[in-house]
Structure 1
Amino acid sequence: MSLFEPGNAQRLDQDVVEQALQWMVIVQSGVSTEAERQACQHWRTQSPQHEMAWLRLTGLNADFRDSTRMLPAAGARTLLRSRNVTSRRTLLKGFAGLGVALATGYSVRERILLPELFSDYRTATGERRQVSLAQNTDLTLDTHTALDARTTGSATDLTLNLGRVLITGANISLSTAYGRVQPTGYSRLVISQNLPGVDGTRVQVLTGSASIELAWGDSFSLGAGQQVTFDSSAAGPRGQVMTGADAWVNGLLIAERMPLSQVIAQLNRYRPGVVRCDPAVAALQVSGSFSIDRPDASLDLLARVLPIRVQRVFGYWANVVAA
C-alpha cells in the first residue's frame, strides 16, 4: 500500500502529492524566502486535500527513519542519503526557472513558483497534451510542461516556462527566458526549456525553418534538420537534429549509445517520484527504444539487459545501482 493511500484515509490525487513535494523541498531548502513560505501556506489553505498531502508528506521523514530501524546500519544510511539526494532532484525538476527569476530582481510570482499550476497550458507527470490554436497552429506538450499563449490579430505569441513542446504551424512565435523563436512559414519544430542534460533552450527544426533572436540581441536562422542550444550567455554550435527528437510524441525514448544516466534522467520526467542513477553505472552505454508511458517497465527492461538492478523505496523513490 502506498504511503499516500492508507486504508483508513482519503486517497490523494497524484498531482496534489507532487505539488506538496515541490512545496516541501522549497520550504525545507534552507534558502526559501518569506514570500515563498507565504505562498506555500496559501496553497495549503486552498483545499483540504492540499493540507492532507502536506501533513502526510511532512511526516515522511519520521516514517522513513522508523522503517529503517530494522535494516542494517549501512543500509539505513544508504537509504537516508538517497532521500536527501532525491529531494534536491525534485527541486531541480519542478523549479528549474526559479533561480533565474530571483536573480533578475523580480518579485516572486505564482507563475514562477509553480508554472505547472498557473500557466495557460500545462501537463502533469506522464501526461502529454495536444492543443489546437488559431491560424492552424497545433501544439503537443510533453510531460511537466508549462506554456502561456496570447493571440493578437493573426499572430500567436507563446511563452515556454518549463518543459518541451512540438509546434506545427505558422504566424507564431515562442519566447523562453533566453530568447525568441520565430518559425519561418509553415514549420514543425521542437523547443525545450531546461530539460535534463540541456542547460537553457534547445530548438530542433524538423521541417521548414526558424529565426532565433537571443536575449542579448544576436540573431540567426536554422534550417530543416538543424538544432541549437542557447542560454543567457552563449549559443552552442549548430548541429544535426538528434534521432528520435520527436519520438516522445508517440510515447518513446530513442537512445543511441546514450549514457545510462541520461536515459534515467529522461525516464525520471515521466514517472511519479524520483529515480536516481548511481555514479558507478552512470556511464554505461544504452541503445534501444524505451516506453515513456511505462517508465517502470523501461527500468525493468534496462535491468534485464545491463548489469544493474533497481531498488524501489515506498514505490516512489528508485535507485539504479550495480547488480
Structure 2
Amino acid sequence: MKAILSAAVDWYVRLHDSNVDDATRAAWQAWCTADPRHAAAWARLEQLQGRLGSAPRGAAQTLEIARRDRRHAVKALALLLGVGAVGWQGYRASPWSADYATRIGERRRLTLADGTRLDLNTDSRVDVRYDAGQRLIQLQRGEILVETAKDARPLSVRTVAGDILALGTRFSVRQDNDVSHVAVAAHAVEVRPSRASQVVRIDSGYSLSFAADHIGPLQPLAPGGQAWAEGMLVSVDWRLDEVVHELARYRPGYLGCAGEVAGLRLSGAFNLDDTDVALASLEDALPVRARRMTRYWVRMEPIGKG
C-alpha cells in the first residue's frame, strides 16, 4: 500500500503543476479506475488534504511543500499519515470532524477520485465514501454543488432528509435543519426521502425541498441560485431581509435587518468574498444604513433611525 500511496502523492503533485494538461488528467483518471486500491489511496490523500484545513499551520504547510517539491512528497505523506494515526485522534473525535469542511465565509472546490467536481459553500461539512459498488457523498451541514464524472457506480448525496441519486448531472444540495433543498442545473436527479416510499425525479431547470417524511412541489430553478460557487450572490426581486439572511451565512457574528425595511425589494449581484462591500451596495440602492455596534454585530436599519 505504501507504493500506491506514493503514486497517489506523485499524481497529486503532477495535477497541481501549473503546466498540467488534459493528457495528464486523463492518465490520472485511468490510474484511479485501474485498481480499487488506487481510488482508495487517492481518497485517503484527499481526506487528509481536507482535514488540513483545520490542522495546525505547520502540518498544513507540510503537504503544500510536498505539492511543490516532488522529492519531498513521499516523506511528507509518511509524516502526515503518521501524525494521522495519533495526532488527529482528538480532531476526529470533535463534532467538527469531516473529510472536507469550510469555515464561515470560505468556499472550496475539489476533484474527487472519480473526477467528480465538488464545491463546498460557506460553513459546510461533507464525508466521501467510495467503494467498489457506490459513490456516496454525505452532507453533514451546509451546501454543495456536484458535477458528476462518468462512472459505472451510482453517485448519491445523503442528507439528514434522505438520498439524492445523480443521473449524470450538475446539481446543488443545501441542508437547512431537517429540510434539504435540491436544485438541478443539468440532466436530472431522483430524490428519495428516508422515511417515505415516494421517489421524485427533478429535471434540469427545477428544484424542490424535502424532509425525511415528505417531498415538496417542484419549482423553477431560481436565477443565479448556484452563482455562489463563483463567489456571487444573485437576487432577483428579493426582499431585503432575504438578501441579508443570505449574506449573514458568509460572515461571523450577527447580521440582521430591522422590520421597518425588511420588505424593501431589490435585484442585484453581490460579492460574497467581501460582505462589507455588499452591505455598502445595499446602502447605495435602498434608503437603509448598516448600523455597526461592533465588527461582529451589524443591522440594516432605516436611514435616520438611532
* Structure 2 Cα separation of the partners of residues 300 and 136 of structure 1: 39
Counterpart residue identity of residue 290, structure 2: V
In the alignment, what sits opposite 2:119? Answer: 140
Percent identity over the alignment is 30
In the alignment, what sits opposite 1:210? Answer: 189
In the alignment, what sits opposite 2:176? Answer: 194
Distance 1:287 1:111, change over 3 A: farther
Aligned-partner SS, 1:118: coil
Structure 1 residue 272, shift from structure 2 partner: 2.2
* Structure 2 Cα separation of the partners of residues 183 and 192 of structure 1: 15
Mapping of residues 113-124 of structure 1, within 5 Å? 114=95, 117-124=96-103
Structure 1 residue 286, shift from structure 2 partner: 1.5
Structure 1 residue 154, shift from structure 2 partner: 5.5
Match of 1:149 among 128, 132, 139: 128
In the alignment, what sits opposite 1:281? Answer: 261
Match of 1:180 among 154, 157, 163: 163
In the alignment, what sits opposite 1:10? Answer: none
Aligned-partner SS, 2:241: helix
* Structure 1 Cα separation of the partners of residues 217 and 262 of structure 2: 26
In the alignment, what sits opposite 2:294? Answer: 314
Question: Which 4+ stretches in 1 moved above 6 angstroms?
Answer: 110-113
Structure 2 residue runs without a partner (length 5+): 1-55, 57-90
- Asked whether the 8 Å contact 2:193–2:213 carries over to 1, the reply is no
Counterpart residue identity of residue 189, structure 1: F
* Structure 1 Cα separation of the partners of residues 145 and 285 of structure 2: 32
**Per-residue Cα deviation, 1:26-52 (whole angstroms, up to 9, x for no partner):** xxxxxxxxxxxxxxxxxxxxx9xxxxx
Distance 1:285 1:113, change over 3 A: farther
Mapping of residues 229-268 of structure 1, within 5 Å? 229-268=209-248
- Asked whether the 8 Å contact 2:232–2:271 carries over to 1, the reply is yes
* Structure 2 Cα separation of the partners of residues 173 and 263 of structure 1: 30
Structure 1 residue 233, shift from structure 2 partner: 3.5
* Structure 2 Cα separation of the partners of residues 221 and 237 of structure 1: 11
Structure 1 residue 111, shift from structure 2 partner: 8.3
* Structure 2 Cα separation of the partners of residues 200 and 240 of structure 1: 18
**Per-residue Cα deviation, 1:3-43 (whole angstroms, up to 9, x for no partner):** xxxxxxxxxxxxxxxxxxxxxxxxxxxxxxxxxxxxxxxxx
In the alignment, what sits opposite 1:65? Answer: none
Alpha-carbon RMSD across the aligned residues, in angstroms, is 2.1
TM-score, scaled to structure 2 = 0.65
Structure 1 residue runs without a partner (length 5+): 1-46, 48-109
Distance 1:233 1:252, change over 3 A: same
**Per-residue Cα deviation, 1:105-162 (whole angstroms, up to 9, x for no partner):** xxxxx98984xx2111100011110111122211000011111111111532111111
Mapping of residues 66-85 of structure 1, within 5 Å? none
- Asked whether the 8 Å contact 1:274–1:317 carries over to 2, the reply is yes
Structure 1 residue 314, shift from structure 2 partner: 2.0
- Asked whether the 8 Å contact 1:271–1:296 carries over to 2, the reply is no
**Per-residue Cα deviation, 1:63-83 (whole angstroms, up to 9, x for no partner):** xxxxxxxxxxxxxxxxxxxxx
Structure 1 residue 214, shift from structure 2 partner: 0.8
* Structure 2 Cα separation of the partners of residues 167 and 202 of structure 1: 14
Q: Which of the pair has more CA radius of gyration?
A: 2
TM-score, scaled to structure 1 = 0.62
Residue 163 (1) aligns with residue 145 (2): no
**Per-residue Cα deviation, 1:248-292 (whole angstroms, up to 9, x for no partner):** 011111111101111001111111222011111111111111111
* Structure 1 Cα separation of the partners of residues 105 and 237 of structure 2: 24
Structure 1 residue 213, shift from structure 2 partner: 0.7
